[in-house]
Amino acid sequence: MKKLLSGILVSCLLLSGNAYSASMISIQKYIKNNSGYLNDTTTKTYVLKRCAASYLYYAGITKDNFPKKSQLIANDYKKILIFTGDILIDEMKWTAEVTAMSLNTDIGNMWKYYEKDGNDSFARTGDYIVGNYIGEDILFCQEVVKNIK
């Protein structure tokens, strides 16, 4: 009986520890973990897709209370999207159709993680982006947008 109760207790502790785990690491941690591949097209476009997804998410959560800010964020999202697409076409030699499919799928999947983690953060703290990787990503991506010509 003691073994059964111990097993249940351990299982509960393991499950509860994962209840608030993030779906992704911050972009900065990703870059640090992949520092040997920063010039690789796949790494560059992953980071850019993450920026696009974070901006798409950010535009969505600000649109009701700050519509003008949301529109500016959406415009920056478009800049990132076009820039990333150009890299995929130029460096990977992908067609526009393959590029559009990749952008749509990858950014859509990343956006779902931002939405899930943002909602979890809001439920715990009352804030979608403060104190988690989402806010860190948005700040990082602001610098990325500044460097896109």
- Domain residue spans of the chain: 23-147
At 20, the pLDDT band (50, 70, 90 cuts) reads: low
pLDDT confidence band for 40 (50 / 70 / 90): very high
pLDDT tens readout for residues 61-111: 999 999 999 999 999 999 999 999 999 999 999 999 999 999 999 999 999
Pure H helices in 18-95: 27-33, 41-62, 67-91
Q: What is the band of 58 on the pLDDT scale with cuts at 50, 70, 90?
A: very high
**Mean pLDDT, the chain, whole residue set:** 89
pLDDT of residue 18 exceeding 90, the answer is no
- Residue matched to tokens 């896109």: 148
Note the pLDDT of residue 13.
36
Question: pLDDT tier at 149 (50, 70, 90 boundaries)?
Answer: confident
pLDDT value at residue 8: 40
For residues 11 and 121, give the distance between their C-alpha atoms in angstroms, rounded to a whole number. Answer: 24
pLDDT (tens digit per residue) in 105-128: 999 999 999 999 999 999 999 999
- Compute how many other C-beta atoms are within 10 angstroms of the C-beta atom of residue 138: 18
3-state secondary structure of 149: coil
> What b-and-e string marks burial along 7-23, b requiring 16 or more CB atoms within 10 Å of the CB?
eeeeeeeeeeeeeeeee
d(CA 33, CA 89): 26
* pTM: predicted TM-score of the whole model, two decimal places: 0.85
